[in-house]
Structure 1
């Protein structure tokens, strides 16, 4: 049935059987209307031919014809209904302010009348001359927001100073001295600005999208590389296991062959000994039988023919049983396996921590390695990069007293350096082996490859310098060596303005001083010759103070020099040695400065 809210006209245009609009409407003899297929279907299912509404019975099924006039009326009504539904304001749409009962959808909003109109009510604005001048815009629902609350006038201007919309009365009131432009112009300007901002946002968005894709591709490539790396590592370990298994099989095969050969030799010896024992028993029986006779002549004749003594001498030869024993290889195997296991374990731990440090990741402290059947020594893995350097690259540095400045005092063991102001200055006319003008000294041993590290106790208030230099700087250097001259150093000076404040410089005091949180008491010097790096560490704080990178350790001779070396048949050594370099000197009353080369302690 039709809903209660439907109009009576709509109810009359619905079939009482299907409760929907008529399709091919027909009329029964009693005057009621039905859909043709609805009434014929009703009669086909029923035993009686009667009207569903008034229950009037018919003798036979009437011949029904479509009511064409009624059908046309239905079509016209449905067309009007569809048009009315399309123009009706739906939720969220702007309704017409003039419509009373049925609110139609607004087509335009008048900015002068401050009202929204549907198409029929908008007709006067297209016809009346005075209304044609009104400004019409697309329908808007918030007309109250377009009116100045103070002057009750339309907002027609935009104030650039206050960044707000104002009416023309506001320009004479609070915004008299402000720059204001019409809304259309402000709209175009803001729209252009927003368009440019949108373009920039789009560029940034595209850039970040590309970054996302690149990161995803990098992650995917890294994943594939990791999978390949894992496969290669597994292959290497499998090859190692196969090699160990082959070595085990070969060793066991050799031991078994040796055991079988010794067994065959022992069996041959046992057979021979058994034959000799049988022969000895026979001769012993003859001797016992001969001992029973009392005939002197027969005894002597029989005794001379037995050859007893010769056989006794040959049968009593000692047998070396060590020829049949097999030397045990278990001890050697255990010792070799223990050494290989310890070395392998150490190398794997180093690889693992190198992988962590290469990603600048400092994980939690590694657990103490447990002792098992094969490893007797416990190895503590490094917890940071400095500890790894201390464990693997520490060298024993001794100072060369022959290279020292005359006011430097070197201890007998070559580990302690002290500046003594009371010593006489160098004689300029007498030849000196050490540095002539500055209180510097070199280490006894130089390094031309690999990595090395040493530590110096620098506490106190004195001034000092330390690092590494090439020996080519010479003994007549009159200032602190810099990288261009073949010296990579780190030095401490007293601030001339504030005696309580120290200043630290990389290489030369002409640069700005470094900013350190605390005064270092022990400084570690690390050199990686192959990578061209020189780093200085605060050992107690376990932090990096300063680092040189890309150092030109390896010298490349000029083309002319290389040609002359080639002609002369001289091999040019292009890997000069780097020597530990220390210096201690007096500055503003610090007459006794001491440096001490300390053994490298492996932090736990």
Structure 2
């Protein structure tokens, strides 16, 4: 405050000896003031009475008295300085300090844009009182004044260049921005503030939308978690029931083995008892015979001989040993169980892989997609991390690949099958003509695989690079032409057909390697482009044995299906191509 600057100077009330505010002030004959204790001690240490300031020597040691009036003035000065100090505001963190204050900095109240300095309330007083300084432009306190000065002209930045979107000084209008439209900083500030308000309003709306989406997503996730917990609980119950069923069947199997063992032991015990009785009778008869052999009385031996003769059924005693008891030890049953468990484990693993695949492909994020449908398209990338289509093919390759070989005994004349059964080509200078439409009466010569499949799933791959005309698929030889499911290429025209339908295909790229997948249980045949990892075509509801679906399910419900399952054989054919054309069965490689 201004009153703080009207206080007397502190130097007027300082002792020249202790350099502190006078205490019990005493005046020397020359008119200088000192603390009474300070001047007395000074004279005692010097042995000479003189003034420390003016060096005037006194004839005798003056009798000093406390200047009571001056002391009262000091007390009044101290009280005024305490009151002024209470009104001063020290600068705090992040506040602009006064550039004039020496020692503890006070908080600046204004910044002079002409002086390029900030002033506290006391040091600002001349700018409010002096006429020349009152013309200076004052602003709210600002820091880093050097950033507000043009580095080229050393002038305050007071204009805003709209074309270049930079702050400039008046001198810049005559140099680099001579033809540019410039407005005062205040006007530019108002315009930018309006733009910021509009942007802020838009951000608030976006924030509201995002917050609503967050709420919807959290709600969806909460519901999903409840459903997931319910699913997990049900799955645990299913697997617990399966484990309990297996445990029960295990107990039944062990009980059956133990009962069989007990029956075998009982049968063995009965046989042992009979044989032991027979051995005892034979031992007694042999003893009597040995005693009779030792007698020398001829008459006695001849008389007793009829009673010791072997009975009529004695020949049974030397007959072959009766059939031995079953020697099916623990290792016999363990081997059977081990093989059965291995088959069950393989089947369970296959089913689990299918389950994992279906879970990964399930639309668990659909609710999230709907919740964020109103947001920017960029945010849709969050939901594009769904499993890739090639995962299904990779799973099939890992789980169901089989080793297929062409039969070297059952193929049409004119074909050549390699020794390992993996390559099919023409005899030299032999080519087959193009076949008629697949539904017609004729078909090209074909080569079957050595092994057929009647259940489960199997998959194999064939390289067709460079072939314009070929057949690949599966057939049921027992159903003649009605039992074929083929992917065919006719002069770069593609088709897929079964017994009664032809589906013309339009492919974006010509496959160089074809994968064939057959599910005998679901009656489905699929053809894949292995290199592109895409599905070419799928045939569902195949009549592998020529019967209808109704007949198929009726037979499943009324009889044993194992004796009626047809055998499907991989089939291959090339025709109408160059004599050097070759179809190759390749090993299945799932890749990473």
| Structure 1 residue 166 displacement after superposition | 0.7
Q: Which residue of 1 aligns with 2:83?
A: 80
| Structure 1 residue 134 displacement after superposition | 5.9
Matches within 5 A, 1:484-495: none
For normalisation by structure 1, the TM-score amounts to 0.51
Does residue 271 of the first structure (1) align with residue 282 of the second (2)?
no
| Structure 1 residue 436 displacement after superposition | 7.7
Change (3 A) 1:202 1:317: same
RMSD over aligned Cα atoms: 6.6
Q: Matched residues in 2 for 1:250 and 1:424: separation?
A: 64
| Structure 1 residue 274 displacement after superposition | 1.9
Q: Matched residues in 2 for 1:97 and 1:584: separation?
A: 97
Alignment partner of 2:257 out of 251, 260, 275:
251
User: Which residues of structure 2 form unaligned runs of 5+?
Assistant: 1-17, 25-71, 361-392, 418-422, 475-481, 543-547, 554-565
The alignment partner of 2:98 has SS state of coil
The alignment partner of 2:317 has SS state of coil
The alignment partner of 2:532 has SS state of strand
Q: Matched residues in 2 for 1:293 and 1:437: separation?
A: 102
Contact 1:456 1:524 in 2 (8 A): yes
The alignment partner of 2:83 has SS state of helix
How many residues matched? 448
Matches within 5 A, 1:337-348: 337-340=337-340, 342-343=342-343
Deviations 1:224-276 (A, max 9, x none): 98899799779866865775465345424532442244224412442354246
Matches within 5 A, 1:47-446: 80=83, 83=86, 87-90=89-92, 93-100=95-102, 103-122=105-124, 136-191=138-193, 192-193=195-196, 195=200, 240=246, 243-244=249-250, 247-248=253-254, 250-271=256-277, 273-275=279-281, 277-278=283-284, 281=287, 291-293=297-299, 308=307, 312-314=311-313, 317-318=316-317, 322-323=321-322, 325-330=324-329, 332-333=332-333, 335-340=335-340, 342-343=342-343, 387-388=397-398, 391-392=401-402, 411=415
Q: Matched residues in 1 for 2:464 and 2:246: separation?
A: 48
Contact 1:108 1:116 in 2 (8 A): yes
| Structure 1 residue 394 displacement after superposition | 5.4
| Structure 1 residue 292 displacement after superposition | 4.7
Alignment partner of 1:536 out of 525, 528, 537:
528
| Structure 1 residue 278 displacement after superposition | 3.3
Deviations 1:332-370 (A, max 9, x none): 32541452365366557767987998999xxxxxxxxxx
Q: Matched residues in 1 for 2:349 and 2:359: separation?
A: 16
Contact 2:159 2:170 in 1 (8 A): yes
Change (3 A) 1:186 1:580: farther
Q: Matched residues in 2 for 1:180 and 1:437: separation?
A: 89
Deviations 1:440-469 (A, max 9, x none): 889989999975545444344x53466669
Deviations 1:28-70 (A, max 9, x none): xxxxxxxxxxxxxxxxxxxxxxxxxxxxxxxxxxxxxxxxx9x
Contact 2:470 2:572 in 1 (8 A): yes
Change (3 A) 1:420 1:524: farther
| Structure 1 residue 328 displacement after superposition | 0.9
Q: Matched residues in 2 for 1:148 and 1:104: separation?
A: 28
Q: Matched residues in 2 for 1:79 and 1:216: separation?
A: 66
The alignment partner of 2:257 has SS state of helix
Contact 1:441 1:583 in 2 (8 A): yes
Q: Matched residues in 2 for 1:75 and 1:135: separation?
A: 36
Q: Matched residues in 1 for 2:143 and 2:76: separation?
A: 38
Q: Matched residues in 2 for 1:267 and 1:226: separation?
A: 60
Contact 2:111 2:118 in 1 (8 A): yes
Contact 2:526 2:539 in 1 (8 A): no
Q: Matched residues in 2 for 1:424 and 1:224: separation?
A: 62
Contact 1:88 1:105 in 2 (8 A): yes
Contact 1:453 1:524 in 2 (8 A): yes
Does residue 463 of the first structure (1) align with residue 474 of the second (2)?
no
| Structure 1 residue 91 displacement after superposition | 6.2
Contact 1:472 1:486 in 2 (8 A): no
Matches within 5 A, 1:449-460: 451-460=457-466
Q: Matched residues in 2 for 1:94 and 1:83: separation?
A: 20
Deviations 1:102-130 (A, max 9, x none): 54211122334433222234456667899
For normalisation by structure 2, the TM-score amounts to 0.52
